[in-house]
Structure 1
């Protein structure tokens, strides 16, 4: 098979397989539950931390609105991507997936893209809610950096979710890890608490976790401060690529261990 045909076949696995797995494995796809998890919960998170930040006076109110709006996409990235991988085992389809000749790269990419798009939607709705209900100042000049920040943040966060999902093939309590990761991203990304108020080790950690660079770019754009789109977006996309690569390694190792120990389909 030529390289072009292999590429087309891989992209088909990514697009078609990713869409089918998203519909089948993401357990919050029923409309009421989707609304609660992806719309209502992020909205109240944005309102809560924006009002707390406004009354604290540590930063301009828009700082908290745009930061928590973009961070709200972590719900889709962390929970969605991890469920898209770990639920293969829970629903008994993991063995069928692993015997397919499709490359793991294309399979995992198909899990990354839908949840990233889901996260972008949540971030956009969060920014719109901030504008409609909390007075977020949106001018044409800042729409592009906010949009870029939302895309980059959602992609890197979904990459972290894939790692958690791959770990879920070995451990039973995946939701403890996802809940902890979500809370860490809320605190250590500068979305709800300015990084300058946090200890130095937390500021250092923020440089290697998802969303911090993208959130900082959006906050600087809203505040009218200078920022470097290439540096911030580039750092976020590099993190996304690193997390995606780590997820592939973790998946391969979890698969080998599960085969050797006979625990491939134990939940």
Structure 2
């Protein structure tokens, strides 16, 4: 009987713990907000983190965008060719990349490369008591360690997404016109005729939101790491998994909001 009740109550316990952890994360967010506005601002460290997070992720973003554009053109060509509508591929590819694939894929790649490293670095500093040492010096370790990383990620991701959109659309245009035989003039005309600022703006706004969310998740998980070397490994895994889940969830809600606003 007791084992049956334990099995029955296990999902409720997990749900309660999940709510508890989510509440702790929200409190962490609330405590961080004033730190963005209070000096010192550590501008030099912020630019250093932009170099590490943003410039360091350029190559992987470039490669991901290159092959995304190639695959997007090939797959859409198969569908459009059945209806003799290949000339309308340009705008469709541009919108799908700039609104969805660019910000989502860019955020996922930045998560796998930079956020995982961020969580591992902060987790190592926690288990080796470096963060405790900073606190003992009357320095706010959150402002000292987390704020530059969060700002750098929030700035870097939109720039990387712009690069992603440009490279992916360029590679899609090249393979569509030179390899698949799509009329290059018609391809470009559909983009220029139907393109709206919101087609670009929504992707950039998503990138800002994704950048802030994944950086705070990676910072939070790394900052509160426990359990030595094993805990650092677990924190790195959790940072990647929770960041990826948050990207997909936030993408849905942002897309729904933009649809409601007709933007």
Shorter chain as denominator, the TM-score bin is: 0.5 to 0.7
1:210 counterpart residue number: 250
Unmatched runs of 5 consecutive residues or more in structure 1: 1-5, 190-208, 221-225, 230-267
Asked whether the 8 Å contact 1:10–1:102 carries over to 2, the reply is no
The 1:56/1:106 distance shift into structure 2, 3 A limit, reads farther
**Which residue does 1:124 correspond to in 2?**
162
Mapped to 1, the partners of 2:106 and 2:46 lie a distance apart of 19
Deviations for 1:39-77, whole angstroms, at most 9, x for unmatched residues? 2134324443564355456x9444432221222321225
For 2:238, the equivalent position in structure 1 comes to: 177
> How far, CA to CA, are the matches of 1:90 and 1:62 in structure 2?
42
1:134-180 Cα distance to aligned partner (Å, 9 max, x none): 24825696235523531343333432342234223233324433554
Give 1:121 shift. Answer: 1.4
Q: Distance in 2 between matches of 1:62 and 1:130?
A: 9
Asked if the contact 2:36/2:147 (under 8 Å) is kept, the reply is no
> Is 2:50–2:156's contact at 8 Å kept on the other side of the alignment?
no
Which structure has the larger Rg?
2
- Per the alignment, residue 64 of structure 2 pairs with 41
Structure-1-length-normalised TM-score = 0.52
Matched, 1:65 2:97: yes
Aligned equivalents of 2:74 and 2:192: distance in 1? 18
Q: Which residue of structure 2 lines up, in the alignment, with residue 204 of structure 1?
A: none
2:121 alignment partner in structure 1: 87
Alpha carbons of structure 1 residues 176 and 86: separation in structure 2 relative to 1, 3 Å:
closer
Determine the structure 2 residue equivalent to 1:258.
none
Structure 1 residues 80 and 68: alpha-carbon distance in aligned structure 2, compared to 1, 3 A threshold: same
- Greater length-normalized contact order (CA 8 Å, ≥ 6 residues apart): 2
Equivalent in the alignment of 2:205: 151
Structure 2 vs 1, CA of residues 155 and 212 (structure 1 numbering), >3 Å: closer, same or farther?
same
Match of residue 15, structure 1, among 40, 43, 55: 43
Aligned residues: 191
1:164 paired residue among 190, 209, 218: 218
CA distance in 1 between partners of 2:75 and 2:244 (Å): 17
- Structure 2 unaligned residues grouped into runs of 5+: 1-33, 81-88, 174-187
Residues 214 and 145 (structure 1), Cα distance of their counterparts in 2 relative to 1, 3 Å cut: farther
**Structure 1 residue 123 displacement after superposition:** 0.8
TM, length-normalised to structure 2: 0.53
The 3-state SS of whatever aligns with 2:220 is helix
Corresponding residue to 1:104 among 120, 138, 142: 142
Q: Does the 8 Å contact 1:18/1:110 carry over to 2? A: yes
Could you say which structure has the higher helix fraction?
2
